[in-house]
Protein backbone atom coordinates (compact mmCIF):
# COMPACT_ATOMS: atom_id res chain seq x y z
CA UNK A 1 0.00 0.00 0.00
CA UNK A 2 1.18 3.51 -0.84
CA UNK A 3 0.75 6.14 1.84
CA UNK A 4 -0.11 9.58 0.49
CA UNK A 5 0.19 12.84 2.40
CA UNK A 6 -3.61 12.77 2.84
CA UNK A 7 -3.38 9.41 4.60
CA UNK A 8 -1.35 11.00 7.42
CA UNK A 9 -3.40 14.19 7.37
CA UNK A 10 -6.60 12.25 8.03
CA UNK A 11 -5.06 10.82 11.25
CA UNK A 12 -3.80 14.23 12.34
CA UNK A 13 -7.10 16.00 11.61
CA UNK A 14 -8.87 13.46 13.84
CA UNK A 15 -6.36 13.89 16.69
CA UNK A 16 -6.57 17.70 16.45
CA UNK A 17 -10.25 17.45 17.38
CA UNK A 18 -9.22 15.89 20.74
CA UNK A 19 -7.06 18.73 22.13
CA UNK A 20 -6.84 22.46 21.46
CA UNK A 21 -3.06 22.80 21.90
CA UNK A 22 0.06 21.77 20.02
CA UNK A 23 2.15 19.22 21.95
CA UNK A 24 5.78 20.36 22.19
CA UNK A 25 7.23 16.91 22.89
CA UNK A 26 6.19 13.46 21.67
CA UNK A 27 7.37 10.35 23.47
CA UNK A 28 7.10 6.73 22.38
CA UNK A 29 7.29 4.35 25.32
CA UNK A 30 8.93 0.94 24.91
CA UNK A 31 8.12 -2.37 26.65
CA UNK A 32 6.99 -2.01 30.24
CA UNK A 33 7.97 1.65 30.41
CA UNK A 34 4.25 2.34 30.50
CA UNK A 35 4.23 3.73 34.10
CA UNK A 36 5.57 7.00 32.71
CA UNK A 37 2.19 7.47 31.04
CA UNK A 38 0.44 7.41 34.44
CA UNK A 39 2.21 10.62 35.41
CA UNK A 40 0.68 12.67 32.62
CA UNK A 41 -1.62 15.37 34.03
CA UNK A 42 -5.02 16.20 32.48
CA UNK A 43 -4.74 13.18 30.21
CA UNK A 44 -6.80 12.93 27.05
CA UNK A 45 -6.56 9.26 26.09
CA UNK A 46 -7.27 8.03 22.57
CA UNK A 47 -7.26 4.27 21.84
CA UNK A 48 -5.31 3.40 18.72
CA UNK A 49 -8.27 1.40 17.46
CA UNK A 50 -10.41 4.56 17.44
CA UNK A 51 -7.94 6.56 15.31
CA UNK A 52 -8.76 6.38 11.58
CA UNK A 53 -5.89 5.05 9.40
CA UNK A 54 -3.78 4.25 12.51
CA UNK A 55 -2.32 0.85 13.49
CA UNK A 56 -3.15 -1.29 16.52
CA UNK A 57 -0.62 -2.69 18.98
CA UNK A 58 -0.47 -6.49 19.20
CA UNK A 59 2.17 -6.90 21.95
CA UNK A 60 0.81 -7.68 25.43
CA UNK A 61 3.24 -5.35 27.24
CA UNK A 62 2.29 -2.43 24.96
CA UNK A 63 -0.90 -0.61 25.92
CA UNK A 64 -2.12 0.82 22.59
CA UNK A 65 -3.08 4.32 23.67
CA UNK A 66 -2.16 7.80 22.59
CA UNK A 67 -2.18 10.17 25.56
CA UNK A 68 -2.17 13.96 25.33
CA UNK A 69 -1.50 16.00 28.47
CA UNK A 70 1.03 17.90 30.55
CA UNK A 71 4.16 16.66 32.26
CA UNK A 72 6.78 18.88 33.96
CA UNK A 73 4.86 21.85 32.60
CA UNK A 74 5.34 20.64 29.01
CA UNK A 75 2.50 19.78 26.65
CA UNK A 76 3.13 16.24 25.44
CA UNK A 77 1.70 13.48 23.32
CA UNK A 78 2.71 10.03 24.45
CA UNK A 79 2.38 6.72 22.64
CA UNK A 80 1.96 4.00 25.23
CA UNK A 81 2.58 1.02 22.98
CA UNK A 82 4.49 1.06 19.70
CA UNK A 83 4.51 -0.92 16.47
CA UNK A 84 7.21 -3.34 15.35
CA UNK A 85 8.05 -5.11 12.12
CA UNK A 86 7.93 -8.49 13.93
CA UNK A 87 4.20 -7.97 14.57
CA UNK A 88 3.70 -8.21 10.82
CA UNK A 89 3.70 -4.50 10.02
CA UNK A 90 5.73 -3.57 6.98
CA UNK A 91 8.61 -1.15 7.44
CA UNK A 92 6.61 1.35 5.35
CA UNK A 93 3.74 1.26 7.86
CA UNK A 94 6.11 2.09 10.71
CA UNK A 95 6.49 5.70 9.46
CA UNK A 96 2.97 6.53 10.61
CA UNK A 97 3.47 7.70 14.24
CA UNK A 98 6.38 10.07 13.51
CA UNK A 99 4.66 11.62 10.49
CA UNK A 100 1.59 12.23 12.60
CA UNK A 101 3.75 13.93 15.26
CA UNK A 102 5.29 16.09 12.56
CA UNK A 103 1.87 17.18 11.27
CA UNK A 104 0.67 17.83 14.82
CA UNK A 105 3.49 20.38 15.12
CA UNK A 106 5.63 18.46 17.66
CA UNK A 107 9.12 20.00 18.10
CA UNK A 108 11.01 17.08 19.65
CA UNK A 109 10.43 13.32 19.84
CA UNK A 110 11.84 11.05 22.53
CA UNK A 111 12.02 7.34 21.66
CA UNK A 112 12.51 4.77 24.41
CA UNK A 113 13.07 1.03 24.18
CA UNK A 114 14.24 -2.07 26.00
CA UNK A 115 17.51 -3.49 24.67
CA UNK A 116 20.06 -6.23 25.28
CA UNK A 117 23.56 -5.16 26.32
CA UNK A 118 26.35 -6.17 23.94
CA UNK A 119 29.06 -3.94 25.43
CA UNK A 120 30.56 -5.93 28.32
CA UNK A 121 30.83 -2.77 30.42
CA UNK A 122 27.02 -2.44 30.46
CA UNK A 123 24.79 -3.99 33.13
CA UNK A 124 21.05 -4.72 33.23
CA UNK A 125 19.33 -1.60 34.54
CA UNK A 126 21.75 0.80 32.78
CA UNK A 127 20.54 3.24 30.13
CA UNK A 128 22.15 3.94 26.75
CA UNK A 129 21.69 7.21 24.88
CA UNK A 130 21.75 6.28 21.18
CA UNK A 131 24.51 8.06 19.30
CA UNK A 132 23.97 6.06 16.09
CA UNK A 133 22.60 2.75 14.83
CA UNK A 134 23.33 -0.19 12.54
CA UNK A 135 20.43 -1.58 10.49
CA UNK A 136 21.41 -4.47 8.23
CA UNK A 137 18.11 -6.34 8.04
CA UNK A 138 14.79 -5.40 6.52
CA UNK A 139 13.72 -2.62 4.20
CA UNK A 140 13.96 1.08 4.84
CA UNK A 141 10.74 2.63 6.18
CA UNK A 142 11.24 5.28 3.48
CA UNK A 143 11.06 2.73 0.63
CA UNK A 144 8.39 3.40 -1.99
CA UNK A 145 7.07 6.63 -3.44
CA UNK A 146 8.65 9.58 -1.63
CA UNK A 147 6.10 11.79 0.13
CA UNK A 148 7.95 15.01 -0.61
CA UNK A 149 5.85 17.09 1.82
CA UNK A 150 7.89 15.35 4.55
CA UNK A 151 11.36 15.35 3.04
CA UNK A 152 13.68 14.65 0.14
CA UNK A 153 14.05 11.26 -1.58
CA UNK A 154 17.69 10.96 -0.52
CA UNK A 155 18.61 12.34 2.88
CA UNK A 156 21.52 12.35 5.30
CA UNK A 157 21.57 10.24 8.44
CA UNK A 158 24.66 11.91 9.91
CA UNK A 159 23.80 13.22 13.39
CA UNK A 160 20.21 11.95 13.06
CA UNK A 161 20.27 11.33 16.84
CA UNK A 162 20.32 15.05 17.53
CA UNK A 163 23.66 16.03 19.19
CA UNK A 164 22.07 18.93 21.15
CA UNK A 165 19.54 16.54 22.74
CA UNK A 166 22.23 13.94 23.50
CA UNK A 167 24.17 16.66 25.32
CA UNK A 168 21.07 17.51 27.41
CA UNK A 169 20.61 13.79 28.21
CA UNK A 170 24.27 13.48 29.25
CA UNK A 171 24.04 16.58 31.46
CA UNK A 172 20.94 15.16 33.19
CA UNK A 173 22.70 11.81 33.72
CA UNK A 174 24.81 13.17 36.58
CA UNK A 175 21.70 13.88 38.69
CA UNK A 176 20.27 10.39 38.05
CA UNK A 177 20.94 7.29 40.14
CA UNK A 178 21.05 5.31 36.86
CA UNK A 179 24.29 4.48 35.05
CA UNK A 180 24.01 6.15 31.67
CA UNK A 181 26.15 5.38 28.61
CA UNK A 182 26.17 6.59 25.05
CA UNK A 183 26.47 4.02 22.28
CA UNK A 184 25.44 2.36 19.04
CA UNK A 185 22.15 0.42 18.77
CA UNK A 186 21.88 -2.58 16.48
CA UNK A 187 18.42 -3.09 14.96
CA UNK A 188 17.37 -6.76 14.85
CA UNK A 189 13.96 -7.51 13.37
CA UNK A 190 13.15 -10.46 15.72
CA UNK A 191 10.86 -11.68 17.21
CA UNK A 192 13.37 -14.36 18.21
CA UNK A 193 16.23 -13.07 20.30
CA UNK A 194 19.66 -13.18 18.63
CA UNK A 195 22.01 -16.14 18.65
CA UNK A 196 25.30 -15.80 20.58
CA UNK A 197 27.17 -15.87 17.23
CA UNK A 198 25.06 -12.96 15.96
CA UNK A 199 25.81 -10.99 19.11
CA UNK A 200 29.57 -11.59 18.68
CA UNK A 201 29.24 -10.41 15.07
CA UNK A 202 27.30 -7.27 16.08
CA UNK A 203 29.93 -6.45 18.70
CA UNK A 204 32.67 -6.79 16.07
CA UNK A 205 30.68 -4.36 13.89
CA UNK A 206 30.66 -1.75 16.64
CA UNK A 207 27.28 -2.25 18.36
CA UNK A 208 26.83 -1.67 22.09
CA UNK A 209 23.19 -2.78 22.46
CA UNK A 210 20.56 -4.61 20.40
CA UNK A 211 16.80 -4.25 20.10
CA UNK A 212 13.82 -4.63 17.79
CA UNK A 213 12.44 -1.11 17.55
CA UNK A 214 13.27 2.61 17.40
CA UNK A 215 15.36 2.67 14.21
CA UNK A 216 12.40 2.84 11.81
CA UNK A 217 10.96 5.74 13.80
CA UNK A 218 14.35 7.44 13.98
CA UNK A 219 14.84 7.16 10.20
CA UNK A 220 11.38 8.63 9.61
CA UNK A 221 12.28 11.51 11.91
CA UNK A 222 15.56 12.07 10.04
CA UNK A 223 13.64 12.18 6.74
CA UNK A 224 11.27 14.91 7.99
CA UNK A 225 14.03 16.75 9.89
CA UNK A 226 12.55 16.20 13.33
CA UNK A 227 14.96 16.37 16.30
CA UNK A 228 15.01 13.11 18.27
CA UNK A 229 16.50 11.64 21.40
CA UNK A 230 16.52 7.84 21.72
CA UNK A 231 17.11 6.06 25.03
CA UNK A 232 17.58 2.30 25.47
CA UNK A 233 16.99 0.63 28.83
CA UNK A 234 19.41 -2.29 29.07
CA UNK A 235 17.09 -4.99 30.40
CA UNK A 236 19.46 -7.95 30.02
CA UNK A 237 22.87 -8.84 28.68
CA UNK A 238 22.41 -10.06 25.08
CA UNK A 239 22.61 -13.77 24.16
CA UNK A 240 25.89 -15.40 25.09
CA UNK A 241 27.38 -12.33 26.79
CA UNK A 242 27.07 -14.09 30.15
CA UNK A 243 26.77 -17.83 30.91
CA UNK A 244 23.22 -17.42 32.19
CA UNK A 245 20.58 -17.42 29.43
CA UNK A 246 17.98 -14.64 29.77
CA UNK A 247 14.23 -14.85 29.31
CA UNK A 248 11.58 -12.38 28.19
CA UNK A 249 10.38 -12.36 31.85
CA UNK A 250 13.79 -11.00 32.87
CA UNK A 251 13.47 -8.30 30.19
CA UNK A 252 10.06 -7.28 31.57
CA UNK A 253 11.16 -7.51 35.24
CA UNK A 254 14.21 -5.28 34.72
CA UNK A 255 12.16 -2.76 32.73
CA UNK A 256 9.57 -2.66 35.51
CA UNK A 257 12.16 -2.40 38.29
CA UNK A 258 13.79 0.71 36.85
CA UNK A 259 10.70 2.30 35.28
CA UNK A 260 10.32 4.78 38.14
CA UNK A 261 13.95 5.98 38.03
CA UNK A 262 13.82 6.00 34.26
CA UNK A 263 10.69 8.16 34.30
CA UNK A 264 12.44 10.62 36.61
CA UNK A 265 15.40 10.74 34.25
CA UNK A 266 13.19 11.35 31.20
CA UNK A 267 11.32 14.08 33.07
CA UNK A 268 14.60 15.79 34.02
CA UNK A 269 15.45 15.88 30.30
CA UNK A 270 12.01 17.24 29.39
CA UNK A 271 12.43 20.12 31.84
CA UNK A 272 15.49 21.21 29.81
CA UNK A 273 13.66 21.22 26.46
Helix, strand, or coil (residue 75): strand
Q: Does 184 bind ligand HPA (CB under 6 A)?
A: no
Q: Does 130 bind ligand HPA (CB under 6 A)?
A: no
Member of 23, 64, 97, 116 binding ligand HPA (CB under 6 A)? 116
Member of 211, 223, 224, 266 binding ligand HPA (CB under 6 A)? 211
Only segment of 38-46, 90-98, 112-120, 214-222 that touches ligand HPA (CB under 6 A): 112-120
Interface with ligand HPA in residues 216-235 (CB under 6 A): 235
Going from the C-alpha of 94 to that of each of 16, 104, 261, the distances in angstroms are 21, 17, 29
In terms of CB distance, is 106 or 241 closer to ligand HPA?
241
The DSSP secondary-structure symbol of 44 reads E
Compute the distance between CA of residue 115 and CA of residue 105 in angstroms, rounded to an integer.
Answer: 29
The alpha carbon of residue 63 and the mean position of all alpha carbons in its chain are separated, in whole angstroms, by 14
Q: Does 48 bind ligand HPA (CB under 6 A)?
A: no
Strands 127-135, 108-117: parallel, antiparallel or unpaired by DSSP?
unpaired
Name the CA radius of gyration of the chain, rounded: 17
Query: Who contacts 196 (Cβ-Cβ below 8 Å, separation ≥6)?
Result: 239, 240
Residues composing the chain: 273
Member of 188, 202, 262, 265 binding ligand HPA (CB under 6 A)? 188
Cβ(185)–Cβ(215) below 8 Å: yes
Only segment of 87-95, 110-118, 142-150, 221-229 that touches ligand HPA (CB under 6 A): 110-118
Cβ(117)–Cβ(238) below 8 Å: yes
Only segment of 91-99, 114-122, 129-137, 164-172 that touches ligand HPA (CB under 6 A): 114-122
Compute the distance between CA of residue 86 and CA of residue 76 in angstroms, rounded to an integer.
Answer: 28
Helix, strand, or coil (residue 161): coil
Q: Does 210 bind ligand HPA (CB under 6 A)?
A: yes
Q: Does 114 bind ligand HPA (CB under 6 A)?
A: yes
Member of 32, 147, 212, 269 binding ligand HPA (CB under 6 A)? 212
Member of 238, 258, 266, 269 binding ligand HPA (CB under 6 A)? 238
Cis peptide before 23 (omega within 30 of 0): no
Closest contact distance (angstroms) between CB of 36 and ligand HPA is 17
Q: Cβ-closest residue to ligand HPA?
A: 116
Closest contact distance (angstroms) between CB of 49 and ligand HPA is 25
Q: Which residues of this chain interact with ligand HPA, rule CB under 6 A? A: 114-116, 188, 193-194, 210-212, 235-236, 238, 251
Amino acid sequence: MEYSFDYFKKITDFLKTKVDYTPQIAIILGSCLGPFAEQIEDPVVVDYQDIPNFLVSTVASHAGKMIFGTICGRKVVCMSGRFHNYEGYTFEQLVIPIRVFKLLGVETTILTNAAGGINVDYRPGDVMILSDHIKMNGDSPLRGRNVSEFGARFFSTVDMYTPRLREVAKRCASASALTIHEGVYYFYSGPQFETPAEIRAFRALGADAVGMSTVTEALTAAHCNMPILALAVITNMAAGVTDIPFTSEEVNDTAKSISQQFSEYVKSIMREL
